Structure 1
């Protein structure tokens, strides 16, 4: 665990140095802790379409998931740090809006399946809190149609959530496939992109759904007959570390969020949602990431 934490801190420092050098930060981004001290409000964005990180309960539309519990952990530690009561104002984010919400100052943090990108000009990231990678969700009886290692996927229709790195990955790894992007905003109204893709898969309109393995398994958890589906390949094709989205250049706030991620309170949240080997999706992320590159 100590080695894992040291690696996370080192990666965070590298990300911060590269980001600050390549993309100088706007002056307003330095004020998150001060604004929270003055207002007593933490502005927190999370998803409603990303099981198990952020999702809404059927019938109630209430938020649930890892990110909700992490928000409570951040709030409680802020209260102790600032010596005052802190309330949380929740804002819904999507794959298409998440980075803009942070970069334009609408929220202080966005929690979700956000792959860390080095040299991001728009936002900063926390240290990683999870690792996963691209896989395909298919109908089990049609599993032989989708062979990501020995086929260029020519002629296959692959569903993907618009505005994600997976969409970009499909474009350069499988250019012969027909990618169908599902959007979270249709006609100005929110739509569950993964639910749209799942319905299309069931109807035979697409051959597979590409996405992060953890999110594909989360989507399966909602299905009445999950055994009718399969996720391939066994190990993901990419190695993607998730981090919290943070305002550009606010290093005091970044340091605070990182301290929460390294806390025992956060470890308990991880265990609740992801099991005893909970700091990452796989117990040995180094081995997991090495396998994806072979």
Structure 2
């Protein structure tokens, strides 16, 4: 009888241990799922922190000044989003700015490490498969930066037929950045050219000035921004052609399926506050980076 009682007691204890183990497993599975389901706005409201990504190599959208401080239109846009978040949530929100690059900018958002990235990212259907985008806040396009001395020879809209016949794609070296729309969409159009990877736009412009490459292909606004940041003489260069070869809409990178967060960001971008911010940077007469004036300055 005692043996039967001990066996029953042991089975009961084993069942209790099994139940505890199953509960532990259940909680270990459920907690991460609950955290994963938390929306961006819920997370920001809970933590009081907005984590955002910017870049330092895309002037005038994101760069560091001589004091190593972050500057740029996109940096100011994120700060405007933070201010509007504080009003919406009725509490202080700390802004944590992280530096991203061409390689990790999408992954940082996809994995939840960043709530948003605003810099100079073109909105494309391929990218929209993995992340969401805000409404566009700037439109530019791919252009070619050349030395002024080569402007007539390499500009298909200005060169004569004789000059164009003398210029063969296989004799032209074009600098470009990996992981950009120039790399993905523009480079395949001219497969015969000598495409040379450069580490940055600054590196590309250095090689261009040293005649190591003939052209630097990138978004026109970013090529001008790098010249501006380096305080180089715009008369040394020319952007070809005058009208961009493509049209690129820039938007902020957002987590997939974050509709409420996206609505808040879009409302900020379309707000009067952002119109004033945009003019502060890009107005043709009074802007910190008067885009039309810079375009004019690189024409012959």
C-alpha distance after superposition, 1:165-198 (max 9, x if no partner): 1112332211111111224xxxxxxxxx111111
The two structures, once aligned, show a CA RMSD in angstroms of: 2.1
Q: CA deviation at 1:254?
A: 0.6
Give unpaired runs (5+ residues) of structure 2. Answer: 1-34, 158-163, 293-300
Once the two structures are TM-superposed, the CA of residue 224 in structure 1 deviates from its matched residue by: 3.0
Larger radius of gyration: 2
Alignment of 1:1-294 (within 5 A): 28=36, 31-58=39-66, 60-118=67-125, 120-147=128-155, 153-183=169-199, 193-221=200-228, 222-275=230-283
Q: Deviation per CA, 1:114-135, whole angstroms, max 9, x where unpaired?
A: 1111252221000111111010
Q: Secondary structure at the match of 2:268?
A: helix
Q: 3-state SS of the aligned residue for 1:258?
A: helix
Distance 1:228 1:98 in 2: 33
Superposition TM-score, scaled by structure 1 size = 0.78
Q: Whose helix fraction is larger, Structure 1's or Structure 2's? A: 2
Classify 1:223/1:176 alpha carbon distance in 2 versus 1 (closer, same or farther; 3 Å): farther
1:125–1:204 Cα change, 3 Å: same
Alignment match, 2:296: none
Task: Determine if contact 1:137/1:230 at 8 Å carries over to the other structure.
Answer: yes
Alignment partners' CA distance in 2, 1:180 and 1:202: 15
157-166 vs 138-147, which moves further: 138-147
State the secondary structure of the residue aligned to 1:224.
Answer: coil
Q: Deviations over 1:257-281 (max 9, x none)?
A: 0010011111111001111699xx7
Q: Work out whether residues 55 and 65 of structure 1, in 8 Å CA contact, stay in contact via their aligned partners in 2.
A: yes
Change (3 A) 1:148 1:36: farther
Distance 1:181 1:28 in 2: 38
SS in 2 for 1:88: strand
Residues paired across the two proteins, number:
245
Local SS of the residue matching 2:170: coil
In the alignment, is the contact (CA less than 8 A) between 1:29 and 1:249 conserved in 2? no
Deviation at 1:238, TM superposition (A): 0.4
Alignment partners' CA distance in 1, 2:125 and 2:96: 29
Gaps of at least 5 residues in structure 1 are: 1-26, 184-192, 283-294
Give the Cα–Cα distance (whole angstroms) in 2 for the partners of residues 258 and 132 of structure 1. Answer: 19
Are 1:197 and 1:209, in contact at CA under 8 Å, matched by a contact in 2? yes
* 2: CA distance, partners of 1:127 / 1:152: 40
Q: Do the aligned residues in 2 keep the contact of 1:140 with 1:228 (CA within 8 Å)?
A: yes
